[in-house]
Structure 1
Amino acid sequence: SSRMVVRCVAAALSDVPPTVAETKMNFLKSYKRPIPSIYNSVLQELLVQQHLMRYKRTYQYDPVFALGFVTVYEKLMEGYPSSNDQDAIFRAYIQALNEDPEQYRRDAQKLEEWARTQDANSLVAFSSRDGEIENMLKSISQRAQGKGNFSYSRFFAVGLFRLLELANATEPSILEKLCAALNINKRSVDRDLDVYRNLLSKLVQAKELLKEYVDREKKKREERVEPQTSNEAVTKCIADVHVASR
């Protein structure tokens, strides 16, 4: 009986989700290099938000969510100094949440490729067709209706919008129809897309300020180097004159 108790306790402990602090620590252990604060502050905020989504009881990974996250991440990291670091940060971030970064990338790519071949009508009519992506969307629709685990999130909203963008179908009426087909509350999607747009706008402004600062510092350094270079030239010239006059 004591063994059974131990097994029960072990099983219970394995169901206990990690804390936000543990998820953050996992990220820092995986990616040890410093991240510029303009990127890091948003990344940390997203990581906390995603941790809370990830460990909800109703959470189930889905490709639209993945597409949304990949879209947000790529927008956030636009202009990052190194593309290798960008990829390494992505992997560290997703692994910190005990998920598979390759699956995120793979599913996002599949959805993007599919959406590019769609138009407004075919996108909304996914439930009447068969196919890998159509079946994914049908599964989401059923789960969102209450037949299984589904947890709506901001990343899901961004994923939906990305599908519409790629299908050149961004009219509000199409979004409304797609939300209805997926059993998603359009009001929530609208609200979250507004938040997303505001975030992008703030990021653009912050990156512009950062660029101005970097350019200004670079110019200052160049200005400091110029007098030094001219001084060295003058010194050399004087030395040459001395040598010549001997």
Structure 2
Amino acid sequence: MNNIRTVSDTKRAFYSIHTRPINSVYRRVIEELMVEMHLLSVNVDFQYDPIYALGVVTAFDRFMQGYLPESDKESIFNALINALQDDPQRYRAEAQRLQEFAQTLSVEDIVSWVDDAANSEVQNDLQGSFQKIATTPKYKYSRILAIGLFTLIEQADPQAMEDKEATQQTLTQLASGLNLPLDKLQKDLELYRSNLEKLKQARIVMDEMTQAERKRREQRAAKPAVSPTPESAPEEVSSDS
């Protein structure tokens, strides 16, 4: 009997946990992330990894920037991870730990560890993750993993990915050391950055529309109400009798 959960099962679980409506622009982002995570979770070659968790958290937080009400964001995140039968606190904790650790490193440190991932002695959790990725046969690459790797580099040097030539070299070294497909890594990160920019522009348009509507309401509220002019009463006609 096939007991593998379907995408529909995961979506139903999500909407039963987070019951408040989600803005249509953001709902599409959440559902695409949910479907991607679901398909990975049921793949026999997929392995959870802290770098993957960093990718999930980073993608969620960046795509959900500007979401209102702000208080709903954590509920949506928790519902997303719980719907996939996982622990949202684990994702948050491991992502934060990796971010903070990466901030103490240089890009050269990370690239060096990646280059030696298959053979080096593991001295910390990040090196352990690199070694697992590099040495696991049929390791399941994903766009989310690519975002996690990208975030590590960003945390080590926020300007590191602004230099196209340096970016190409860094991605080539990451792909080579971890035995990941370079073409997919590059395309996924280009699409990721492009989608962030598109969502940023969509937020600007939504903000402008919201401000324009608020201004119209304020103008209507400030306009004095005009009382209807009563019809003139007919003059009394006096009768001389």
TM-score by length of 2: 0.83
The answer as to whether partners of 1:68 and 1:155 remain within 8 angstroms in 2 is yes
* 1:209 aligned partner: 205
- Determine whether 1:20 maps to 2:12: no
* 1:151 aligned partner: 140
The CA distance in 2 between the partners of 1:18 and 1:188, in whole Å, is 27
The answer as to whether partners of 1:38 and 1:207 remain within 8 angstroms in 2 is no
The CA distance in 2 between the partners of 1:219 and 1:50, in whole Å, is 41
Aligned residues: 215
Superposition map of 1:62-101 within 5 A: 62-101=49-88
Q: Tell me the amino acid that sits aligned with residue 131 of structure 1.
A: N
SS in 1 for 2:40: helix
- Determine whether 1:135 maps to 2:128: yes
Unaligned ranges ≥5, structure 2: 228-241
* 1:231 aligned partner: 225
Superposition map of 1:53-202 within 5 A: 53-126=40-113, 127=117, 128=120, 129-143=122-136, 146=137, 150-168=139-157, 169-170=160-161, 171=166, 172-202=168-198
* 2:37 aligned partner: 50
Q: Tell me the amino acid that sits aligned with residue 193 of structure 1.
A: L
The answer as to whether partners of 1:63 and 1:104 remain within 8 angstroms in 2 is yes
The CA distance in 2 between the partners of 1:139 and 1:107, in whole Å, is 16
Pick the structure with more helix per residue: 1
Runs of 4+ aligned structure 1 residues displaced above 6 Å come to: none
Q: Tell me the amino acid that sits aligned with residue 225 of structure 2.
A: N
Query: Residues 190-220 of structure 1: CA distance to partner in whole angstroms, max 9, x if unpaired?
Result: 0101111121121112111111111111111
Which structure: larger Rg? 2
The answer as to whether partners of 2:50 and 2:91 remain within 8 angstroms in 1 is yes
83-92 or 134-143, which moves further after superposition?
134-143
The CA distance in 2 between the partners of 1:46 and 1:93, in whole Å, is 9
